[in-house]
Structure 1
């Protein structure tokens, strides 16, 4: 499993690593930072190569991934948790203010793994803590959603909201169409265009293929 993850990352993202880093810096500064307090404790679940957690400004940072290469790419202030996310997390109860995860849940092998992962998120979040998820919406990607061999769970914004509520989270915000699909291909919009796009929600309704859902831990 570990070797497969390492190979997948290398094949999929080699050559676009610097561009991805720059795009995530724009996304973090111009959109996601408003959801994260500067003194918060945050976990990047399925942190990959650290594109989000390395850029977000906050007090206490954790990154979790099964890929051991992830730990080598995280900034020194990020604590790396190398583990299966559906097993008990290496964090105490109520440690976190936020769990952020991007393009990750669809890679879990089953809905049961997703349910157990959300149970761990709830345990480790403070009462009122939040979970913020960004991911591909199969409703708007009926074919290309399956172009990645490691996509297992078909997700829509409605499905994720339902499982969050079943896990005793309250849904605070849902954007069914937010960002375009993927940075694994050859298309590389300019950073100026990315900044412009974030300021125009009307464009999200046309080009958005990923959804955003924000949930709150009810305690």
Structure 2
């Protein structure tokens, strides 16, 4: 059921993040998302995170990644106060803007960082650079950041169906921003996952695992880019 959201004309849209996501995702969708993310971590993202390492999720949302990734220490940051209610036991959560994460996490501490479907919500390109600079400061030298997000080139027709999308980004523009922020890009894929959980494509965990094992299908069905960049040692 759609919820009515009230806001003052001068209030930032970010103050509505909790209401927007409650309106967008019902309980059934959240349960399905968690199962899919478990399959994604086991079949894909875990390879970039040391099992005895420390991992940070930026704009963690409902904690689907950070709850399922295999790591010794797991930390999440997000503006949404609802995030801590979805964190698994052992996951540390900080309610703070991504570009200010260095105020709450140690410098040069994490082996890996991750963000998914977040950068398109940033207001400006300067904010994207501020987020990348904060993440670089939180990573150990040699640590890596993984970034998943909708590729405007591949999904322009649907990109602005989400009210809180601001920036149109591609794998090329994000790679350039990473390099400007002092990262070395190691992986740059234009097409990986479908655009969103609203997709008509089936999302049973076994189908997700099958999809991950057949990258040739990504070229036809994938609408999200994926990048991995390293903080130089």
Verify same fold: TM over 0.5: yes
Cα RMSD, aligned residues only: 1.3
- After superposition, what is the alpha-carbon deviation per residue over 1:141-190, rounded to whole angstroms, capped at 9, x for unaligned? 11211110111111100001000011110000111110111014565432
Query: Which secondary structure does the structure 2 equivalent of 1:57 belong to?
Result: coil
Distance in 1 of aligned mates of 2:35 and 2:181:
34
CA contact (8 A) 1:137 1:209 kept: yes
TM-score by length of 1: 0.96
Contact 1:2 1:68 in 2 (8 A): no
* Contact 1:64–1:80, Cα closer than 8 Å, also in 2: yes
* Corresponding position of 2:208: 194
Tell whether 2:81 aligns with 1:42.
no
SS of alignment partner, residue 117 of structure 1: helix
Cα pair 1:157 1:213 within 8 Å, conserved: yes
Q: Deviations over 1:45-66 (max 9, x none)?
A: 0101110000111011101100
Name the count of aligned residue pairs. Answer: 219
Structure 1 stretches of 5 or more lacking a match?
none
Q: Aligned in 2, Cα 1:3/1:163: closer, same or farther, shift over 3 Å?
A: closer
> Is 1:154 aligned to 2:153, yes or no?
no
Q: Is 2:88 the counterpart of 1:75? A: yes
1:65 corresponds in structure 2 to 78
Mean Cα deviation higher: 179-188 or 205-214: 179-188
Mapped contact 2:36–2:203 kept (Cα < 8 A): no
Task: Please state how far the C-alpha of 1:191 moved relative to its aligned partner.
Answer: 2.2
Who is 1:8 aligned against?
A: 20
Match of 1:178 in 2: 192
SS in 1 for 2:184: strand
Q: Secondary structure at the match of 2:76?
A: strand
User: For 1:67-216, what aligned pairs fall within 5 Å after superposition?
Assistant: 67-89=80-102, 90-184=104-198, 188-216=202-230
Structure 1 Cα separation of the partners of residues 205 and 114 of structure 2: 23
TM-aligned CA deviation for residue 12 of structure 1: 1.1
Cα distance in structure 1, aligned partners of 2:205 and 2:42: 12
Structure 2 unaligned residues grouped into runs of 5+: 1-12
Residue 27 of structure 1 pairs with residue 45 of structure 2: no
What is the rounded CA distance, in whole Å, between the counterparts of 1:2 and 1:142 in structure 2? 23
